[in-house]
Structure 1
């Protein structure tokens, strides 16, 4: 859905890059959660990766890392909202073991949950895997998944899906989002 919308613009790469940059990256996540179109959110992450790979030569490593982190968080969010807890856990753990994107923290921080995410440290700082900031949600999802595996009722733990919105509600939400998106994309393309 969002991919088709982006094709209206001359340079899809610039539009994708704009959508994945602050503050629009927050807007993109909101689009999929507000409309509860989580499956399209997963498709959108795949689409963005294809566009970025086709234009990889235009991005330095730091730029790619920033965009990659946004797409990783978006995919995790969509898996969470789709109640695909096993996939969420697998993807989270795969990223944890394959991507060394780091955040810098003061050396004084020293709790066990935090220390599990420390990749390395020097005399002043601890360098922590960027997924640390989502570790609280990861732990919640692991508990939900464990309950489900043990045959416990988890219906009350599931996120609401798009079919719980009326057609009118959904249409109003989509129109609202696209109106705002149009304004942001026009502004960002005019700045280029």
Structure 2
């Protein structure tokens, strides 16, 4: 079965999708993104995790795999409540490692407070890579992602970018929706981690 969104990864659409993965808006301004995104194939059955604030935005373009989130959890070596420390003022583990700016969400105390797990019902293509720096709208301040050590090597946390994900909503089946990242994220990562996906090896 071919990927439901394969057309986005062919000319002429692929250039715009790549620039979005790099963090560029249609006006050419940077807003975070992936350093060196590569195209990967997500198999039907793949579980993905997404953190957000607004329940209406549980389906979006930016995701992590349970295996990568488990890697982050193992790196910090702390329990679930640690993911709540500083999150409501934009200084939490998720904001730091994923380089998601608090001001992108209006400095809301609920920023990245919710988490949803989905299971893909069809194959999809995506961009995959380590998160890049995230400048503010005025391009005067840059949030640098906090690196982690994995296998003796320092690297950024890897993310999955599915361009125009809402267009392909039929490909996403909710496994758990609107859990709390402060309390449910650690359990969900452990529960859904099936080891590294082929593109994570």
Normalization by structure 2: what TM-score? 0.28
Normalization by structure 1: what TM-score? 0.29
Q: From the CA coordinates, give the structure whose radius of gyration is larger.
A: 1
Bigger helix share: 1
Query: Comparing both chains, which one has the higher relative contact order based on Cα–Cα distances under 8 Å and sequence gaps of 6 or more?
Result: 2
Bigger strand share: 2
